[in-house]
Amino acid sequence: MKRSWWPVALAALVLSGCAARDTPSTTATTTAGPVNAYSATEVWDASAGWKAPPAAPVAVPKEKWRTTFPQGGKTEISEHLIISLDAGAVRRLHSETGAQVWQVPAPQGARLSIHKGLAVLKGATELVVLNGNNAEELLRVPIAGVESVDADEKLLLINLGTQTAAVDRATRKEIWRVPGAISVLGGRLIGTRTEDGGAWWVQVDPATGAENWRVPYNSGSEATVLSWGFAVTALEKVNVYSLDTGAKTWESKVAMRGKFKILPFDENTLLVHDTSAAYLLDRGKRSPKLVGTGVTVVGVFRVDKSARVLTTRGREVYLCDATHTDSDCPNATVPSAAAVTEAGGARYLRSGQNLFAMRLPDLGAQWGLTLPHTRGEVLAIPKGFLLREGNEVVAYQG
C-alpha cells in the first residue's frame, strides 16, 4: 500500500515560529486533497461499546472563547461537558459559548470528576452525584466506604469495596446490594467476586442483582463484551463464554506469555496485543493473524462501519483492516508528535506548539494551526477542541 507522506507544508508550519499569546495563529496548512466531510468514525469504549467521539472541524478551527478560573480550583472536561469546582461552588460552562449553564454549592472538601455525563463530587463527609447536563441531584450519601461510581441509563452503581449497591436513578432509592465489584461492561452488569474458595467474573441481573452466571477469574486477566460472547484472557489463550449462560463457546491460543489486552474488532474477530505484538483472532479460524510486531496499539475504530486497528511504531502510523498487516495497510510518517485525543473523523496530533488533524482512514493531514504556547492539555469537543493550561481554558471551533 502506498505510504501517505504528510505534506512539506506541515514542516513549514512548525518552522513558522510562535504566535503571540493574545493573537494565536490559526493559519491552515496546505494539504494534498483535504476533504469537505469526514468519514463516520466510532471508537470502542469498554463500558458503553461503540460510540462516536466529538466531531472534528473540517476547516481549521479558530479561537471562539476563553475563560480563567480562580486559582486553586479544578476543571474537568469530558466531550461536551465543562465543569469546574472552586470557591465552594460547582458550575458548568457551555462548550460553544463559554457561558455559565448552571451553578450549585459543592460539598465541603469536594473532589470533582466526570463519568458518563455525571458530575461526581467526593466531599469530606458525603458523596454527591449530579446530572452533568442540568445539575439535577441524583444521589447524596455518606462518603464512608465509597470507592467509585459507575452508571448506565437506569442505575447508579456504588462500589463499596467488598460490595456494590445499585441505586435507581428515577426513584433515588437503593434497590439491591451484592458482594463484589460490579460495573457496566459492554452494556452488561459484570464484575468480579471472591467467594466459595475462588475468584469469579459474574454477570448480575440489573433489576434484582441476582447472579446470572459466573466464570473463573485469574488475577490480572482482561475481559471485554463481544456481540457473540464474553471474552476473557488466560495464560496464553483467550476464552469466550456465552452471554446468556456463561458456558464456554470458543477458545484460541495466542503466543503471549505475560499479561495482554483484548479488544473487539468486528462481528467475528477480536484483537489481542501486548507491548511487542498484535494479533487478530477470527472465531472461524484457529490460527491468529499477525497485525504487526514492535507496534503500539492505539485502539480499534470503525470507519464508515469498517473495523480498523490503529498502531504506531515510532513516527510511523498504521491503520489496518482484517485482511492486511502493517506492511501493506494504509500508513503515514507524521511529525515528531504526541497524539492527544480522538475526534470524529480525525485524530489530533501535537508537536510542540503546533496541532494537526490527521484524517481517518487515509491518514492525511487535514489542517494544522499554531497554539499560543507549548504547554497545556488538548481535549476534543464538538467541532473543535479545548486547550487547558493551569486555570485557563481556551475553546477553538470550526
Q: Is the pLDDT of residue 25 over 80?
A: no
3-class SS of residue 36: coil
pLDDT band of residue 74 (cuts 50, 70, 90) is: confident
Query: Where is pLDDT greater, at 178 or 87?
Result: 178
Distance CA(359)–CA(22), nearest Å, equals 29
103-122 residue pLDDT tens = 999 999 999 999 999 999 99
Query: Over the stretch 4-23, which tens digit does the pLDDT of each residue have?
Result: 445 444 544 444 333 333 33
Residue 44 has pLDDT above 50, yes or no: yes
Please, what is the average pLDDT of the chain? 85
- The pLDDT of residue 325 is 66
Is the model's pLDDT at 369 over the cut of 70?
yes
Query: In the prediction, which pLDDT does 286 show?
Result: 66
pLDDT band for position 152 (cuts 50, 70, 90):
very high
Do 280 and 265 meet the contact criterion of CB atoms below 8 Å apart?
Answer: yes
Question: What is the structure's pLDDT at 292?
Answer: 82
pLDDT at 33: 57
Task: Provide the pLDDT for residue 19.
Answer: 36
Cβ contacts of 59 within 8 Å, gap of 6 or more: 28, 367, 398
- Each residue's pLDDT tens digit, 207-231: 999 999 999 998 888 899 988 899 9
- What is the C-alpha to C-alpha distance for residues 382 and 352, in angstroms, rounded to an integer? 23
Q: How far is CA 302 from CA 57, 130, 190, 274, 349, in A?
A: 19, 32, 25, 21, 19
Per-residue pLDDT tens over the stretch 230-251 = 999 988 889 999 999 999 999 9
pLDDT higher than 90, residue 295: no
- Biggest CA–CA distance in the chain, Å, is 66
What is the number of alpha carbons within 13 Å of residue 33 lying toward its C-beta? Answer: 8
What whole-number percentage of the chain has pLDDT above 90?
Answer: 46
Q: Is pLDDT larger for residue 357 or for residue 47? A: 357
Q: What are phi and psi of 279, to 5 degrees?
A: -130, 150
Looking at residue 311, its pLDDT comes to 87
* Helices and strands, number each (H, E), in the chain: 1, 39
What is the average per-residue pLDDT within 22-47? Answer: 64
Of the CATH numbers 1.10.20, 1.10.3470, 2.60.40, 2.130.10, which one belongs to the domain with range 4-397? Answer: 2.130.10
Phi and psi at residue 37, in whole multiples of 5°? -155, 145
Q: How confident is the model at residue 94 (pLDDT cuts 50, 70, 90)?
A: very high
Find the mean pLDDT for residues 174-184.
96
Q: Is 13 helix (H, G, I), strand (E, B) or coil?
A: helix
> For the ranges 100-104, 319-323, 324-328, 348-352, which has the lowest average pLDDT?
324-328
Do residues 220 and 259 make contact, with C-beta atoms less than 8 angstroms apart? yes
Section 124-131 average pLDDT: 94
Find out whether 150 and 191 touch, Cβ atoms under 8 Å: no
What pLDDT, on a 0 to 100 scale, did the predictor assign at position 120? 95
Residue 59 has pLDDT above 80, yes or no: yes
pLDDT-derived band at 75, boundaries 50, 70, 90:
confident
Sketch the domain layout of the chain as residue ranges: 4-397
Q: How confident is the model at residue 253 (pLDDT cuts 50, 70, 90)?
A: confident
Burial class (CB in 10 A: 0-12, 13-18, 19+), 198: exposed
Q: Is pLDDT at 48 greater than 80 in this prediction? A: no
319 or 72: which leads in pLDDT: 319
Cell of 116: 458518563
Give pLDDT, residue 26.
32
